[in-house]
Structure 1
């Protein structure tokens, strides 16, 4: 009886994997529109080894901004070989005093510090804050959709890498969302409890209108 149950379970597992793995890969065809399911597959006859290699993370992101933070991303629009793979990676460079501002993604994120010292943390839906000082070799996980941040608290620049449970995890930075849009300042004043002068200053900084 136990052997029969084991055989049935093994068959179900085999069938489930057969349904999941339809092909070896689906390199994204960036010449076609994307959809919630990702990009259409590039013609396999035109796929090369270069489709599975990306060198963009060799270069630090541009940190000439108020946060003194730069990011180089390897999401599917930059690295079409990730299409359908369910993972991606980002390089983060923080100058001394630099900050990755409070932001959120659609999926979980795992960060590893390569050089430097940061305070990293997130806030859960009970408004409990979890934060820790991380140094070289430390790893921290940020659960999906929760607000999180990193701050360089050391005396040297920081290099870190973050991996995501999606090839296109999305990002929404709170400051940009609030002050880089076309919402009337009067509305922002009500929802953010900020005065008019603060809102105008921040809208100018982040490119917002109205």
Structure 2
């Protein structure tokens, strides 16, 4: 490749990269996925054909699955994701939603969303909420009913119910597929070589095995 072509190629990459760093803008009013493709793959930006728009109904744009919380896990946490797999009307619109409930003392473990910024609204309860920036500085405080906190894209964040009753949070994302990496599971449940983890965290083989059993998916 000539020097001139190389320069043009680099300029094109610089120009187009920002437009590829978030969900693309839709090119039509909406895209309800074909029923046979309406599965968990829908939220993954695979190429899913749109249903004929004349066959869309108002029910494609209404979701009633957030009325009640799910079942709490061992951490006292439950979350209901609202993405195109559950709510077809969201497809191609570049957004998604979650209802998160925390039992008394419940924890939403440190995690991050690689493709989205999240804004969280406390519907009920008192929640210790925060995130960690790239200098390892913690931004955290207790927020209550009616308050909102934002977690910048890609930064580790967390919540813990510090009240005396269950807490409910509604979270909104600027991506239809934000992705979630839960730190304990990503580290201890992913099959990383044990020797590395023992050295990185100062763990004995027995302690590591205990953590792996606890956080295996």
Give the drift of 1:126. 1.0
87, 100, 103: which one aligns with 1:95: 103
Separation in 2 of the partners of 1:30 and 1:132? 43
60, 78, 96: which one aligns with 1:70: 78
Q: Deviations over 1:118-141 (max 9, x none)?
A: 110000001111011101000000
Structure 1 consecutive aligned stretches of length 4 or more whose deviation exceeds 4 Å: none
Q: Is it true that 1:113 corresponds to 2:113 in the alignment?
A: no
For these two proteins, the number of residue pairs brought into alignment is 188
Aligned residue for 1:27?
A: 32
Q: For the aligned residues, what is the CA RMSD?
A: 1.9
Q: Does the aligned pair in 2 maintain the 1:124–1:147 contact within 8 Å? A: yes
181, 188, 207: which one aligns with 1:179: 188
Give the drift of 1:21. 5.5
Q: Is it true that 1:43 corresponds to 2:48 in the alignment?
A: no
Secondary structure of the 1:81 match is: helix
Give the drift of 1:150. 0.5
Q: Is it true that 1:201 corresponds to 2:206 in the alignment?
A: no
TM-score by length of 1: 0.82
Q: Deviations over 1:25-48 (max 9, x none)?
A: 012336335554663322324322
Q: Is it true that 1:81 corresponds to 2:89 in the alignment?
A: yes
